[in-house]
Structure 1
Amino acid sequence: MRFFLAALFVPFAASADPTLECSDASSQVEIGACVRDMELAVNDAVEAALGIAQSSAQELDEVTGRVVALPALVASQTAWITYRDAQCEAVGASFGGGSGTGIGITACRVELGRTRVDELLQFAN
């Protein structure tokens, strides 16, 4: 199971700028579609990593007889989503309403999502 998950997440570390990964696209529309596809894949990876982290947190709570790890993880995920959305809106605002705004926001969400996957996998046993 871990091998499969590791193989799933390895490509995310390949590049820090998702738009550069779409370099074979010939227009902003194609770049936008490419980055949106990446965002969908990253969202799936975040959900998978969160599931793994939640299982580990639940197990820790059961072993210790304390109910703190899982609620802390849930609070952390909620706060991360709020941060991601605010941060990427700020990135979008830096485009000054230009045509690359949507691509910038989506690329930001991909970058932060990739980092979140790594963070969540640190909770795995």
Structure 2
Amino acid sequence: MRLTMYLAGAAACLMMAGITQAQEPDCKTPKTQFDMTFCEQSRYETADAALNEQWKKARAAVAATDKDLDEKDRGAEKALLTAQRAWISYRDAQCEAFGFQARGGTMEPMLVAGCLANLTDERTKQLKELSDAMGLR
């Protein structure tokens, strides 16, 4: 919860600062801390959108698996939901801890957003592998 509030605050600061900037920073070669933080936050938002798309596919794949099983053997969808909730808690806690490298400094939001993006990309790959293994692409 604290991580969400922190990132929301960082995003609000970025938006307010963006009003004074004429254009978005070049994320291939960010030059300022503001640019680097903006780019990492943007990267996280892109990763989160990809995760949400892959989540829908993975959930459909495990639901299809459950449907094909005897009632006593079902539980794939529930197991995936439990795993996803645990993963979200892990990701948020891990990235909050990662941000302590620059606690209170201007780099902290960049470190947290970068961590969120990296772990979210990894989870998206895991969910894709699961979907592929269950025959849904």
* TM-score in same-fold range (> 0.5): yes
Name the counterpart of 1:118: 125
Indicate whether 1:49 and 2:59 are aligned.
no
Alignment of 1:8-87 (within 5 A): 22-65=27-70, 66-87=73-94
Identity of aligned residues (%): 27
2: CA distance between counterparts of 1:58 and 1:23?
Answer: 40
Partner of 1:108: 115
1:97 corresponds to which of 89, 104, 113: 104
* Mapped partners of 1:41, 1:67: distance in 2: 33
Q: CA deviation at 1:23?
A: 4.7
| 3-state SS, counterpart of residue 24 of structure 1 | coil
| Alpha-carbon displacement from aligned partner over 1:46-101 (angstroms, at most 9, x marks no partner) | 10111110010000000113331000000010000000000000001122322200
- The residue identity in structure 2 corresponding to 1:45 is A
Q: How far off its partner does 1:30 sit? A: 0.9
Aligned amino acid, residue 33 of structure 1: F
Pairing 1:88–2:103 present = no
Aligned-partner SS, 1:94: helix
Q: Secondary structure at the match of 2:61?
A: helix
Structure 1 stretches of 4+ with a deviation exceeding 6 A read none
CA distance in 2, matches of 1:31, 1:99: 10
In structure 2, distance between residues paired with 1:23 and 1:43? 20
Mark the runs of 5 or more structure 1 residues left unpaired by the alignment. 1-21
Asked which structure has the greater CA Rg, the reply is 2
* TM-score normalised by length of structure 1: 0.79
